[in-house]
Amino acid sequence: MHELRKDPILNRWVAVLKDSKPPHYYLGKDIDHVERDTDCNKCILCRGKEDKTPQEIFAIREIGTPPNTPNWQTRVVPKPNPIFQIEGDLGRRGIGMYDKMNSIGANEIIVESPSHDTHPEDSGITQMINVMTTYKNRVSELEKDPRFRYTFIYKDCGKTAGELYHHPHSQVIATPVIPKGIKEELDGAKAYYYYKERCIYCDILSEELRTEERIIMETKNIIAFSPFAPRLPFEFWIVPKRHTCAFQDIHDDEMEDLSLILMTTIKKMRNLFKNPSYNYVLHTAPNRMPRKDHWHTLGEDFHWHMEVTPHLVTKSGFEWDSEFYILTTSPEDAAKHLKEV
């Protein structure tokens, strides 16, 4: 089993794989070390290859069709060779001054389209709603496991974004700890609420709607905008107008608006930059089941959202280590360019 180790200085956890790689593993490899199945005949995620993957966990499929057969619109399967595995116990322990535990969690692949080369944003609003509905199911189900503290849903699209398969897909990772970056975001939101008794994300939305300088797209329920101080050029966020901390509490009309905005903004980004690599991550509340009392203000101070980051520049060593980012395009100009596409 892989293990998780805690950095005692920064209080962040890292995963150490049990099959430690020798130096020659890294020689002559592509920068992101991924398998890209550009040939649909070899792709295990394509419709008709259901027997090539692990047994499906969830699917949106034609009514009456059995699991692990064709006639599906989205499909969720365990990730082969996962870093986090669902069987076992955490086994928390100390080694001298250091802390570690077993890599208990979940790794899942969400297959977003039956077609190898057709992304959900190119299939219409119904397919995007199917994908968002699948996201909601996975967050809701994994929250029920008391061993898990946080559930990530994210998409890596393109070679430099760390794409795992060429077939349209997202990934799910449930972890037994709250990762450092997420914890800092939660703590920042909590501190703002303690000081002002208001949600910081709601205040951000009010300011963006007031100035309209960085808005890319808006519907009745959802807004897409370039954040005031992003990490990368043309990064944008998608945020619901209704205050709610957990994505799984989304309403049907919000789901439709989210699907429309995500579909439209990704197509705008693809058209503007000729299909760039990109990532997006769903930021939602930590799993509330294990420690309800610990996050007693979570419903008031946190606000779920999605963050989309295209890969347009390479970060310098200064940016990587200091997390002091340098923007070559202002957020205001980025929003303007994306809005006009």
Q: What confidence score (pLDDT) does residue 43 get?
A: 92
pLDDT digits (tens, 9 = 90+) for 222-262: 999 999 999 889 999 999 999 999 999 999 999 999 999 99
Q: Which residue has the higher pLDDT, 152 or 6?
A: 152
Tokens 């954040």, residue? 227
Q: What confidence score (pLDDT) does residue 38 get?
A: 58
Q: Could you tell me the pLDDT band of residue 29, with boundaries at 50, 70 and 90? A: very low
Q: Could you tell me the pLDDT band of residue 34, with boundaries at 50, 70 and 90? A: very low
pLDDT digits (tens, 9 = 90+) for 185-222: 999 999 999 999 999 999 999 999 999 999 999 999 99
Q: What confidence score (pLDDT) does residue 320 get?
A: 85
Residue 299 phi, psi dihedral angles, 5° rounding: -65, -25
Q: Which residue has the higher pLDDT, 290 or 23?
A: 23
pLDDT digits (tens, 9 = 90+) for 161-180: 989 999 999 999 999 999 98
Q: Could you tell me the pLDDT band of residue 20, with boundaries at 50, 70 and 90? A: confident
| Cβ atoms of residues 76 and 134 within 8 Å | yes
Q: Which residue has the higher pLDDT, 278 or 81?
A: 278
pLDDT, mean of residues 46-62: 96
Closest by CA position to 157, among listed 61, 320, 273: 273
Domains of the chain in start order, with CATH, are 3-175 (3.30.428.10), 181-340 (3.30.428.10)
**Mean pLDDT of all residues belonging to the chain:** 90
pLDDT digits (tens, 9 = 90+) for 298-332: 899 999 999 999 999 888 888 888 888 888 899 99
Strand partners, 141: none
Q: What confidence score (pLDDT) does residue 18 get?
A: 81
Q: Catalogue the E-assigned strands of the chain.
A: 3-6, 13-16, 58-61, 72-78, 93-95, 98-102, 106-111, 150-157, 169-175, 215-218, 222-225, 236-240, 278-283, 305-310
pLDDT, mean of residues 109-114: 97
Q: Average the pLDDT over each of 6-10, 15-19, 177-181 and give the range with the smallest value.
A: 6-10
User: What order of strands is seen across the sheet that includes strand 13-16?
Assistant: 13-16, 3-6, 98-102, 93-95
Q: What confidence score (pLDDT) does residue 75 get?
A: 98
**For residues 267 and 271, what is the distance between their CA atoms, to the nearest angstrom?**
6
Q: Which residue has the higher pLDDT, 13 or 173?
A: 173
The pTM for the full model equals 0.90
Assess whether pLDDT exceeds 60 at residue 156. Answer: yes
